[in-house]
Amino acid sequence: MISLSEASEGPLDVAKRQIDRIAKILDLERGIVQILKEPRRRLIVSLPIKKDNGEIEVFTGFRVQHTDVRGPYKGGIRYHPDVTLEEVTALAIWMTWKTAVVDIPYGGAKGGINCNPKLMSIGELERLTRGYIMLIKDFIGPFRDVPAPDVYTNSQTMAWIMDTYSQFKGYLVPEVVTGKPLQLQGSEGREGATAMGAVYCIIEAKKKLGMRLKDSNVVIQGFGNVGYNAACFLHNLGCKIIGLSDSKGGIYDPEGINPFQTYEHKRKTGSVLNYAGCQDITNEELLELPCDILIPAALQSQLTKENAERVKTKLLVEGANGPTTPEANEIFAQKGVFTVPDILANSGGVIVSYFEWVQNLNREHWSEKDVFSKLENKINFSFNAVYDAMKKSETDMRTAAFMIAIEKVVSATKLLGLWP
């Protein structure tokens, strides 16, 4: 375990420290560790956009490709005012472990543009997206690097990406990007895939812990793709959603919140706040609500050494990437919080992205039932492999997941060798 005295760091420091820790356990040689810590390629692009008012604004975009030893680079694209090269690099490294732990033939990558999409029109977002793809088009491709959605990007963004790339090729290339709309060769089930994957993990974890799912009290931070869909799936399975939040704050009702109606309220008012019958709370208070299941589904570094002692959940399922700092992780381990780590808990998105890519390459279209059944098999198999490794190594779920993932990447790296 990592010392509590170590100061809080940025996500890239955390990602590198995770590698160091597992390298020690697996007794990896220094050169291999160096390879794992450095992405193969980091692109920084400058994106001048003509705004609707006629002014020019220049945005900065990134694409970081960590490793492709197990298959083409794969990872989402994030639009957020806090996006930095450091953050995108950490997210790219985590993508490598995610694709490895669930054993899909991809490497890890991530993209992002530092912008505030909430202050931009659809037209501005389209020009920004197309400008970004124009500059990185030679570095992505169906067998090179396959982007997908992340925070504040969606199926519309993916449609623009596919179209821009295809315009340069001269023919439609749906397999260049996943998370596309259904009308443009997207996959059934992709929209809810990440949340559904997290729900399959919850069901497996509950079985292992001997706890029943029905009537469990659930708290979810973030009410976007992952948070909203997880809330709906769990509500339909008989769980009680007692707390929800978005970037403006949270709501709490010990009697249970209907996520479908909350969505309508958010659509009309722009936030979950002031929802009838609920108490408004802050995002900080939300994370500390007593509950059976806590799902952080917003941004990274939400559970830290500052608040971990006050977090009162039995089961932590990381919908977001990197929501828990190593210090908080150590506190949770001491408190006996069973944690399903991000690289496993939110892998449903990339698994169904992989299914979308396979369908596109074969010009097939699978039913939602088929997609979810394949997802369930894949994620349950991975969950149980991690659980068994945890028991065998007498460690925690996160360490076991990272051990499995890093071992796979190291083995592929060694088998390929270094060339030239």
| Listed residue (184, 197, 266) closest to 229, CA to CA | 197
**Dihedral angle of Cα 335, 339, 343, 345, to the nearest 10 degrees:** -160
Q: How far apart are CA 368 and CA 81, in angstroms?
A: 34
- Considering 110, 206, 266, 305, which one is annotated as catalytic? 110
| Listed residue (244, 237, 192, 231) closest to 212, CA to CA | 237
Distances, alpha carbon 220 to alpha carbons 254, 293, 316, in Å = 13, 8, 10
Each residue 196-235 as x (binds ligand NAD by CB under 6 A) or -, in order, gives -------------------------xxxxxxx--------
| Listed residue (350, 42, 41) closest to 177, CA to CA | 350
Q: Pick from 15, 234, 299, 371: which binds ligand NAD (CB under 6 A)?
A: 299
Instruction: Count the residues of the shown chain that bind ligand NAD, applying the rule CB under 6 A.
Output: 24
62 alpha carbon, distance to own chain's centre:
17
Give min distance, CB of 81 to ligand NAD, in A. 10
Could you tell me which residues are beta bridge partners of residue 111?
63, 77
- Residue 288 in contact with ligand NAD, rule: CB under 6 A: no
- Residue 298 in contact with ligand NAD, rule: CB under 6 A: yes
How many helices (H) and strands (E) the chain has is answered by 14, 12
Judged by CB, which is closer to ligand NAD: 189, or 222?
Answer: 222
Q: Pick from 18, 89, 187, 245: which binds ligand NAD (CB under 6 A)?
A: 245
- Contact window for ligand NAD (CB under 6 A) among 8-16, 49-57, 66-74, 291-299: 291-299
Q: At what angle do helices 190-209 and 348-362 cross, to 10 degrees?
A: 130
The verdict on whether 110 is a catalytic residue reads yes
Q: How far apart are CA 2 and CA 401, in angstroms?
A: 17
- Residue 92 in contact with ligand NAD, rule: CB under 6 A: no
Each residue 344-383 as x (binds ligand NAD by CB under 6 A) or -, in order, gives --x--x----------------------------------
- Residue 191 in contact with ligand NAD, rule: CB under 6 A: no
Q: Name which of residues 105 to 164 contact ligand NAD (CB under 6 A).
A: 149-152
| Listed residue (36, 17, 95, 31) closest to 406, CA to CA | 36
Q: Pick from 46, 116, 236, 247: which binds ligand NAD (CB under 6 A)?
A: 247
- Please name the residues in contact with 283: beta carbons below 8 A apart, sequence gap of 6 or more: 221, 245, 249, 250, 298, 302
Residue 331, helix vs strand vs coil: helix
- Contact window for ligand NAD (CB under 6 A) among 156-164, 245-253, 309-317, 409-417: 245-253
Residue 68, helix vs strand vs coil: coil
Q: How far apart are CA 229 and CA 260, in angstroms?
A: 9
Query: Do the beta carbons of residue 280 and residue 273 sit within 8 Å?
Result: yes
Each residue 36-75 as x (binds ligand NAD by CB under 6 A) or -, in order, gives ----------------------------------------
Each residue 307-336 as x (binds ligand NAD by CB under 6 A) or -, in order, gives ------------xxx---------------
Judged by CB, which is closer to ligand NAD: 39, or 319?
Answer: 319
Give min distance, CB of 346 to ligand NAD, in A. 4
- Residue 283 in contact with ligand NAD, rule: CB under 6 A: yes
- Residue 79 in contact with ligand NAD, rule: CB under 6 A: no
- Residue 246 in contact with ligand NAD, rule: CB under 6 A: yes
Q: Which residues are catalytic?
A: 110
The site for ligand NAD (CB under 6 A) is made up of 149-152, 194, 221-227, 245-247, 283, 297-299, 319-321, 346, 349
